[in-house]
Structure 1
């Protein structure tokens, strides 16, 4: 701390942003806290658990408090150490008091916003909010490290066995000369970095994955081969026994979304996290439509709820409307009172779903007429002309059942898939029974973004992803995400309970 001294810090005053000032005052009233410093400490602690700050500048127009109110002589060393460690881990230069004040202001600003989000997500219930804070603290490991391997740990600490030695021996047994150079333990799999002695053996390794699984006694679980960031190296993802799995909950889900900046016009969705514990985030606008498929009980519904919840978290009813179609009458009742519902209703049953699809086509045509009148070609350009329309995300649960009951809806779906993007209308189509009869090539060719959960047969994986692989997933939210122009991503879904979704939907 060469450029800083504790005496200098304790004699200083610190100021927050105007936004955090408002949050701090509101949280004082909501939580019954007697001083602004109490909220400030909660906010700073909330922010310190996250990574680098966004590039957005944070003003210094908020309240100012003396360091003696914020810290005590007994704990100031700990707080300063935490702030400096966070800065060092994220490449932030801390070369004097101005830099320290800026870092503290950013932590206060970010943390206060996240605490407000936690409050809303708890249904504005004090007991639920306190439980959220307690759970977050309980989930922190006793000994922390900022190494990449530990960043992959989600929820409670992973008690995963390092199988580097067994993997090296198994590779030798299938005739592949290689050296295991490292491992990262993720939520369900362990990713091993493997250096090949002869790159010409890559094809042998690719064809020998089933024998590798046998050599490592993986039973019916299959390893997966991937690219590495070093020459002559690959990654091999080895599934672990379920007793060592960790589950990401609403807390991690909201943290991933809150860490995303942007202009507020994006349609950011976050269905899960990667093999090494990083959030999977993408903009539905660029997708621009999404197909979600998986066998019964493998997490399709939870995945769809996570996607819809993502959109609700990042929007208001003036910028987003949800057109929900529920042919089986059981999936979307949790949204029945949501302010985000398009036309204030859920289309329940096949007849109502067909009518909603026709209404969406009419809405699309009407939007294009307005664009033509104003000489623009997208909903974003309309906003620049002063005509602000909400995005509409239309979600059909169990599309296969709907098409079997009414083949006529296929034409409406194809027309929307082909034309609705520029009008700000996007489709999410979900099914438990993917087959060629109900998912024609024309539908699939116009729905480029796919999420496949575990399916029973390779042919079903082909319908969803246009390639096999989903039949080898581990179930319980394990998925493969395919976006246009990007490689496949293995991911594990966030587990949101019905109460979690209810609290988010109630915003």
Structure 2
């Protein structure tokens, strides 16, 4: 303490004896050295900690290095101490060897004081700052931004190397639907059908979630975040969709794509996004897509898709929605040829089914397409009752579900029998050759597959697979939906025969793999956000599903009901009832019991029936009473 106070007095009073002694000992280095050691001693006193020997040694080595540097710069710069140290080094190691030795000692002391990890972090930080300040056009990895020929850019490439912002095209916010045109007067069945105008469905106005300035700011955040992890990449394109915005990232040469994928959680944190999906790479594009949710989800109205040219080219057009670039996604059901729709509760599955049905109702007449609607929930398809497009009444009774599928299989077989008689390969060839006997397309819509699989899994799986395998050429197409995408519902046979799939938001990656055979659906946002996997495409497309309100669906249904109600064939309904009776478990047991009674000449008891039929005693007693009543009725008729 006394030494420190004397040295401090020498610094403050340079003409004093202490100041002259300090000047002679350490030269001009006296001030900085005294200040550094005084601070170190003060910190030790405040913290009341004993000094660490290694830290004191490191400070001493750095102090001697400072004296040596001053002695080399100017005469008497390090005082007698500096001159003595310089002489010893010259005598022992030479000037070059001495300087090398003192440099190594100083470096070791610095590492001991600061720590190796902190030094490496500082070096990396300085490197990033130098890289950011360097001119972009002189960087080897930075290339000119690419533009998409099929998508006209909204902002052209600028000299300051900004990303190209595309769209949004027809990105919509829900508005009040226009007033539907009045339906035509009621006409008798058999007359020419009149399609409704596309204006019967509501449209929407364009609206973007982010401004161009916000998009550029987010692009810079992505670049800086990747650069902080030593990933050199640049955002070259921005596509704004209804629910998400896709940032096209062009990594530098030699940067693995997996490094960008592994940082998706860090990107979500920096962007403040609840979830984030990295598409590596974008199918058919030399870039990595980072899909960031918009602050507000724009509603895609079905009416905005009706004017797409795909609707005019398809035989059975259905509106799926809009992709990340705002392009309408329209599919042809005859090319699918069967569709699987799956997702968690509230993800938009039922809305998608209603949009698909409404698309066909607006664009096709009852002479072109007919429906078989299976609705175990009894409420999802109630608005379609009485439509002239219905081949059978809406099936809501679970006892008739298997019968409806069996009837569809019989109808398909009847068509193939007719095709073989005239050597027609499919429904298109038959309708061209025999326009007077033309067959209509038959679309079977199943709203909830899980309930059907719980009731009669074996029959449902077998019939659905048979329809899916043989139905395309006969004009029979399936649309199957479920909210429980598990392996016991979507079996391997069912999935193999439903190549086109739409996956809405699910709760786990396992459910996503059950639907799409890959992960991704667990990161969807819900409310219509979906992955559309076409049967002829390798990778799924992210779309925002089309929406048709209840008022619009009711307007379309009333339009068709005004032209004629459903004219179900009595033969078809009778055949359906007969098939339902054949599928009744009670009827099957009763038929087996009659056979047993015939074999034993009527000498049977409820216990014997229970053992033979492997059923409960109460049910066996009920069947026995039915047999006794039938025998009594037959005996009375014979007596009469």
Smaller-chain TM-score bracket: 0.5 to 0.7
Q: Is structure 2 residue 413 aligned with structure 1 residue 365?
A: yes
Give per-residue Cα distances to partners, 1:49-90, cap 9 Å, x unaligned. xxxxxxxxxxxxxxxxxxxxxxxxxxxxxxxxxxxxxxxx99
Give per-residue Cα distances to partners, 1:301-358, cap 9 Å, x unaligned. 0011111111222211001001100112121101002111113x10112122211101
Which residue is equivalent to 2:298?
A: 246
Distance 1:379 1:259 in 2: 22
Distance apart, 1:199 and its partner CA: 4.7
Which residue is equivalent to 2:444?
A: 394
Q: Which SS does the other structure have where 1:373 is aligned?
A: helix
Q: Is structure 2 residue 540 aligned with structure 1 residue 485?
A: no
Which residue is equivalent to 1:406?
A: 456
Once the two structures are superposed, the pairs formed by residues 165-244 of structure 1 within 5 Å of their partners are: 165-227=220-282, 231=286, 233-241=287-295, 244=296
Distance 1:446 1:168, change over 3 A: same
Which residue is equivalent to 1:451?
A: 502
Q: Is structure 2 residue 554 aligned with structure 1 residue 502?
A: yes
Which residue is equivalent to 1:465?
A: 516
Distance 1:224 1:238, change over 3 A: farther
Distance 1:335 1:226, change over 3 A: farther
Distance 1:466 1:133, change over 3 A: closer
Give per-residue Cα distances to partners, 1:203-229, cap 9 Å, x unaligned. 222333233323433233444444276
Gaps of 5+ in 1: 1-88, 91-117, 141-154
Gaps of 5+ in 2: 1-150, 153-176, 185-195, 561-640
Distance 1:293 1:380 in 2: 30
Distance apart, 1:245 and its partner CA: 2.4
Give per-residue Cα distances to partners, 1:273-301, cap 9 Å, x unaligned. 10111111111111111100011111000
Give per-residue Cα distances to partners, 1:434-454, cap 9 Å, x unaligned. 111122101110110000000
Distance 1:374 1:234, change over 3 A: same
Distance 1:246 1:319, change over 3 A: same
User: Contact 1:225–1:237 at 8 Å: present in 2 too?
Assistant: no
Distance 1:287 1:497 in 2: 26
1:273 aligned to 322, 325, 341, which one? 322
Q: Which SS does the other structure have where 2:224 is aligned?
A: helix
Distance 2:272 2:489 in 1: 38
Distance apart, 1:122 and its partner CA: 4.4
1:421 aligned to 462, 465, 472, which one? 472
User: Contact 1:223–1:239 at 8 Å: present in 2 too?
Assistant: no
Which residue is equivalent to 2:628?
A: none
Which residue is equivalent to 2:400?
A: 352
Q: Which SS does the other structure have where 2:518 is aligned?
A: coil
What RMSD, in angstroms, separates the aligned Cα atoms of the two structures?
2.6
* Structure with more relative contact order (C-alpha pairs < 8 Å, separation 6 or more): 1
Distance apart, 1:485 and its partner CA: 2.5
Distance 1:122 1:281 in 2: 25
Which residue is equivalent to 1:310?
A: 359
Q: Which SS does the other structure have where 2:256 is aligned?
A: helix
TM-score of the two chains, using structure 1 as the length reference: 0.67
Distance 1:309 1:301, change over 3 A: same
Q: Which of structure 1's runs of 4+ aligned residues deviate more than 6 A? A: 132-135
Distance 1:460 1:228, change over 3 A: closer
Q: Which has the higher helix share?
A: 2
Q: Which SS does the other structure have where 1:227 is aligned?
A: coil
Which residue is equivalent to 1:435?
A: 486
Q: Is structure 2 residue 307 aligned with structure 1 residue 255?
A: yes
Q: Is structure 2 residue 395 aligned with structure 1 residue 341?
A: no
Give per-residue Cα distances to partners, 1:102-161, cap 9 Å, x unaligned. xxxxxxxxxxxxxxxx99954549xxx9xx79986xx55xxxxxxxxxxxxxx3343453
1:375 aligned to 402, 419, 423, which one? 423
Distance apart, 1:235 and its partner CA: 2.8
Q: Is structure 2 residue 343 aligned with structure 1 residue 289?
A: no
- Judge which range, 179-188 or 325-334, deviates more: 179-188
Distance 1:199 1:245, change over 3 A: farther
Which residue is equivalent to 1:21?
A: none
TM-score of the two chains, using structure 2 as the length reference: 0.54
Distance 1:417 1:217 in 2: 45
Q: Which SS does the other structure have where 1:195 is aligned?
A: strand
Distance 1:250 1:224, change over 3 A: same
Q: Which SS does the other structure have where 2:407 is aligned?
A: helix
User: Contact 2:371–2:442 at 8 Å: present in 1 too?
Assistant: yes
Which residue is equivalent to 1:96?
A: none
User: Contact 2:444–2:476 at 8 Å: present in 1 too?
Assistant: yes
Distance 1:475 1:169, change over 3 A: same
Distance 1:391 1:286, change over 3 A: same
Which residue is equivalent to 2:112?
A: none
Which residue is equivalent to 2:43?
A: none
Once the two structures are superposed, the pairs formed by residues 29-178 of structure 1 within 5 Å of their partners are: 121-122=180-181, 124=183, 140=205, 155-160=206-211, 161-162=214-215, 163-178=218-233
Distance 1:393 1:247, change over 3 A: same
Distance apart, 1:255 and its partner CA: 2.8
Q: Which SS does the other structure have where 2:404 is aligned?
A: helix
Distance apart, 1:403 and its partner CA: 1.0
Distance 2:284 2:500 in 1: 26
